[in-house]
């Protein structure tokens, strides 16, 4: 596998002497070689860069849009997880190939940036609008890496290929190339998700990144909780359930939508019966036993109250993030705390559209109930307030 990758770079290197290349492709090829000089050497690289005129480089810079790499990498992440969760075969190889193309696109941008820096050393620094364009180019790449590097676990299913690519890079280049190097040894994290055999079970104990990911996805990894039984619902409705058991039921229904709906149905049924008894057509007093057996829902000791539960996930100077669990829904609130404008987005999975928030008196509200009903238990949050950015995965 490593040999195949090396042959590919050698073939690209050979193109430097095969005739003129477009500016962008030339920069990418030169950067590929410079970043893998221990394997490829650097013969002819300086001559190729010196042949680039300043107007050509400036025009290329003005056309760059590194932000277009974000959807490519998000799609690659989604395709990588398809590789992990699907069966081996032709379809898996198609996903794998497409995902690797997304990582290669980010690597080519890194190569172009490296070649550009070397070109400036040889031909003199950029200035004016070209300098501003270069700073935008490099800044956009840096912002992209800040946003996505912490979620390199998405690409763990591609680790065999990523390691081959990483090992071709010069040692000094490897840490920065997170798309190939970050979490490249964490194969067993995916095995722990999918139930497949592990290669090195001790890795999960020793790797801080894997331990953190396991903790973050604990809600997803934990088997579904047992729902309330018919007997428990009957005893709850009749008031025969003890205090400790009621507290356990209340704790369960605070996080289980199905059981919360069942308890709500009991309460609504009680209210309907009381109303029917009060509307006796003859105006006669309903039998006292019937009324006494249906104590008012608000007073009956067995009735499970489902209070709103709030958990502060993050608090910064300009905003607070709160997970709100209510009787029939779960919401994520992003509350402004200062005068800065706050924007936010919630993604249920890489490459998927973000949830649309609603603006209310408490701030931006994202309704997670529909996602919860489909089996989703985790999402990714992005918050922007002035120059401050929060990127966080959370379980719900």
pLDDT in tens, 252-272: 665 455 666 667 666 655 555
Question: How far is the C-alpha of 342 from the C-alpha of 319, rounded, in Å?
Answer: 7
Choose between 350 and 347: higher pLDDT.
Answer: 347
Q: What is the pTM of this model?
A: 0.55
Q: Contact, 348 vs 379, CB < 8 A?
A: yes
Domain 309-395, CATH class in plain words: mainly beta
Whole-number pLDDT of residue 352: 64
Q: What is the mean pLDDT of the chain?
A: 80
Residue 329's alpha-carbon distances to 144, 195, 228, in angstroms, are: 33, 31, 18
Residues 319-332: what's their mean pLDDT? 85
> pLDDT band at residue 193, thresholds of 50, 70 and 90?
low
Bridge-based pairing of strands 354-355 and 342-347 is antiparallel
Backbone angles phi, psi at 28, to 5 degrees: -65, -45
Q: Where do the domains of the chain lie?
A: 2-185, 187-216, 230-293, 309-395
Q: Contact, 323 vs 396, CB < 8 A?
A: yes
Q: Which of 325, 311, 364 is CA-nearest to residue 341?
A: 364
Choose between 203 and 180: higher pLDDT.
Answer: 180
Choose between 212 and 311: higher pLDDT.
Answer: 311
Whole-number pLDDT of residue 288: 45
Angle made by CA atoms 294, 255, 365, in degrees to the nearest 5: 110
Residues 170-191: what's their mean pLDDT? 90
pLDDT digits (tens, 9 = 90+) for 37-52: 999 999 999 999 999 9
Choose between 311 and 25: higher pLDDT.
Answer: 25
Whole-number pLDDT of residue 345: 87
């Amino acid at each position: 596998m490593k040999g195949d990758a090396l042959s590919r770079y050698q073939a690209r290197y050979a193109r430097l002497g095969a005739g003129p290349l477009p500016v962008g492709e030339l920069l990418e090829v030169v950067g590929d070689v410079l970043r893998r000089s221990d394997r490829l050497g650097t013969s002819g690289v300086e001559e190729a860069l010196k042949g680039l005129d300043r107007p050509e480089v400036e025009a290329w810079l003005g056309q760059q849009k590194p932000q277009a790499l974000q959807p490519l990498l998000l799609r690659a992440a989604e395709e990588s997880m398809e590789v992990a969760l699907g069966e081996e075969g032709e379809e898996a190889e198609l996903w794998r190939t497409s995902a690797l193309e997304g990582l290669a696109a980010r690597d080519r941008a890194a190569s172009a940036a490296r070649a550009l820096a070397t070109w400036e050393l040889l031909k003199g620094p950029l200035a004016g609008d070209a300098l501003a364009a270069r700073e935008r180019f490099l800044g956009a790449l840096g912002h992209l890496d800040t946003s996505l590097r912490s979620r390199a676990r998405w690409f763990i299913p591609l680790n065999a290929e990523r390691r081959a690519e990483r090992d071709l890079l010069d040692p000094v280049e490897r840490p920065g190339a997170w798309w190939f190097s970050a979490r490249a040894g964490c194969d067993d994290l995916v095995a722990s998700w999918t139930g497949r055999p592990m290669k090195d079970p001790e890795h999960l104990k020793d790797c801080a990144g894997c331990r953190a990911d396991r903790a973050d996805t604990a809600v997803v990894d934990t088997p579904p909780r047992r729902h309330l039984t018919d007997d428990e619902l009957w005893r709850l409705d009749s008031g025969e359930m003890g205090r400790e058991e009621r507290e356990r039921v209340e704790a369960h229904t605070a996080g289980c939508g199905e059981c919360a709906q069942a308890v709500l149905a009991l309460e609504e049924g009680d209210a309907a019966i009381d109303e029917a008894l009060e509307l006796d057509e003859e105006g006669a007093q309903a039998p006292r036993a019937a009324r006494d057996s249906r104590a008012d829902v608000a007073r009956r000791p067995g009735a499970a109250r489902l209070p709103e539960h709030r958990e502060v996930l993050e608090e910064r100077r300009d905003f607070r993030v709160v997970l709100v669990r209510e009787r029939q829904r779960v919401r994520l609130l992003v509350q402004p705390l200062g005068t800065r404008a706050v924007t936010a987005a919630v993604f249920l999975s890489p490459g998927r559209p973000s949830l649309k928030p609603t603006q209310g008196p408490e701030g931006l509200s994202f309704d997670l109930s529909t996602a919860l009903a489909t089996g989703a238990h985790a999402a990714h949050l992005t918050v922007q307030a002035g120059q401050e950015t929060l990127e966080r995965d959370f379980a719900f």
